[in-house]
Structure 1
Amino acid sequence: MILRFALLISAAFVAAPPALAQETGTLIRHRVAQMPGRGPAAARVTMEGFAACVVDRSQGRTRKFIDLPVGSPEYKSLLKSMFDPSDECMADGQLELSENLLRGGIFVALFKHDYKSKAIDSFPDDLNSGYLQLYGDTVPSAAYSVVALEQFGECVARANPALSRSLVLSYPASRQENETVQALMPKFSACIPDGEKIELSKATVKGAVAEGLLRLTRAVTKSEFARTEVQK
């Protein structure tokens, strides 16, 4: 099964990041711990910090969450459970973000937690992350945009694992992030077949690349472990 989609990059993608509430997907409103000061990257810093806190405190839930089909009852239940008002990740402050942005933030946090020190030069051409198989023969309309972003992220990660890793590990709106995005621009175009149009910001691209990179890194790690077990 091949998902075909096109990418529209707005002027805001290259300049300052857009407001998080403008992303596609269902808006989620919640209180967030340690809301940073003003600035173009303040909301993104808060979002990544919140996602990192959720991953740190709820590793079991987040690892289960990323392996569920989008839109399934269990997926929705786990997503909702990540916004427990009694959780210490929640405090004074207000942030609006979409499900897609939160999802991307979780993958950024998980990659940093699991594979920050693991650098991979290339991925085997036949390596399968297994994500599309969660949906069978047809991706439901409710999950299409998320799956399309994941496939875009995998494509970029395969094309240049080193730059993809640099992007995921970068601080929002930092020089490293800006330079890495510019360097990856040609790969973005190469990963966009004809089809549905999707508008991306830096935050969305970073989340998509983080998801693709994490899934591929996890797949190659499992493959390496399996070969080691066979050789014993």
Structure 2
Amino acid sequence: MTPILIAFALAAQPQPPQPENPPPLQQEVPASRELTPAHDLFYDDVPVSSREARIAMQRFGSCVADRSQELAAGTIASDFTTRTYRSRLDRLVQANNDCFRDGGRRMRSSRLVLAGAIAEALIERDAQPLNVRLARAAMQPATRAYSVSDQIAICVVRSLPDEVARLMAAEVGSAEEEAATVALAPGLSACSGQNRGVESNSAGLRAILATAAYRSINGAAATGTAQRD
């Protein structure tokens, strides 16, 4: 599978001197082979979850959501198993690749992590507390699930609004994020039922919950039938 490659050919800028032998980045490789086939369509086996990379992706997703709100909202609400979805996500990257300003560096990420960052930015546009919105959405019929792991994620955001809200409020790669992830473990297990649970790193888990949360609280938009091709 080909990961999204966000290439930024900005004008060269002076760069700070680098140590002669910089320590290797401690990168966590997503366990995408443990996800369902539908999620694996856009969760690529690339090391994307170093803290620095994740923070940069959160900022990029926020910028994309600000600049292309209508396309971003429509994309995150749609069926992520389709080529149409992937094409729209690629369009968002191409239209906003100057959102990432860091000299001539290149950033790699999976579509899942990018979609999660965009979803979080869209969620934050509403000032009402996220747990309140999730609890209200849980009183309505569940949004459509597009895979087994998506079904589990939807169950979690409907069952544990407070815990999901704490995860979304935590800075990526922080101790608070780790604690919030641990607190969600029982809910993930319960929502898995007879299915094998969602096995992923913290970046992947946060992303699937963010996209599920967005679709849950925007159920009217998510009920539209996406073109399946």
TM over 0.5: yes
Shift of 1:117: 3.3
Q: How high is the TM-score relative to the length of structure 2?
A: 0.66
AA paired with 1:42?
E
Task: Output the CA distance in 1 between the equivalents of 2:121 and 2:138.
Answer: 26
Verify the 8 A CA contact 1:17 1:202 in the aligned structure 2.
no
CA change 1:43–1:19 in 2 (3 A) is farther
Verify the 8 A CA contact 1:50 1:89 in the aligned structure 2.
yes
Partner secondary structure for residue 55 of structure 1:
helix
Verify the 8 A CA contact 2:78 2:85 in the aligned structure 1.
yes
Pairing 1:122–2:132 present: no
Q: Which residue of 1 aligns with 2:159?
A: 159
Partner secondary structure for residue 124 of structure 2:
helix
Q: Deviations over 1:43-74 (max 9, x none)?
A: 11111111111111110110111233234343
Verify the 8 A CA contact 1:17 1:203 in the aligned structure 2.
no
Pairing 1:80–2:93 present: no
Q: Deviations over 1:83-115 (max 9, x none)?
A: 227742144322221122222222222212235
Pairing 1:150–2:150 present: yes
Root-mean-square deviation (CA, aligned residues, Å) is 3.1
CA change 1:17–1:155 in 2 (3 A) is farther
Q: Which residue of 1 aligns with 2:227?
A: none
Q: How high is the TM-score relative to the length of structure 1?
A: 0.66
The total of aligned residue pairs comes to 182
Q: Which residue of 1 aligns with 2:36?
A: none
Partner secondary structure for residue 177 of structure 1:
helix
Q: Which residue of 2 aligns with 1:3?
A: none
Task: Output the CA distance in 1 between the equivalents of 2:115 and 2:182.
Answer: 23
Task: Output the CA distance in 1 between the equivalents of 2:53 and 2:158.
Answer: 29
Q: Which residue of 2 aligns with 1:184?
A: 184
Runs (5+) with no aligned partner, structure 2: 1-25, 33-39, 221-229
Identity of aligned residues (%): 23
Shift of 1:27: 4.6
Task: Point out the structure with the larger strand share.
Answer: 1
Verify the 8 A CA contact 2:77 2:215 in the aligned structure 1.
no
Structure with higher RCO (Cα < 8 A, 6+ apart): 1
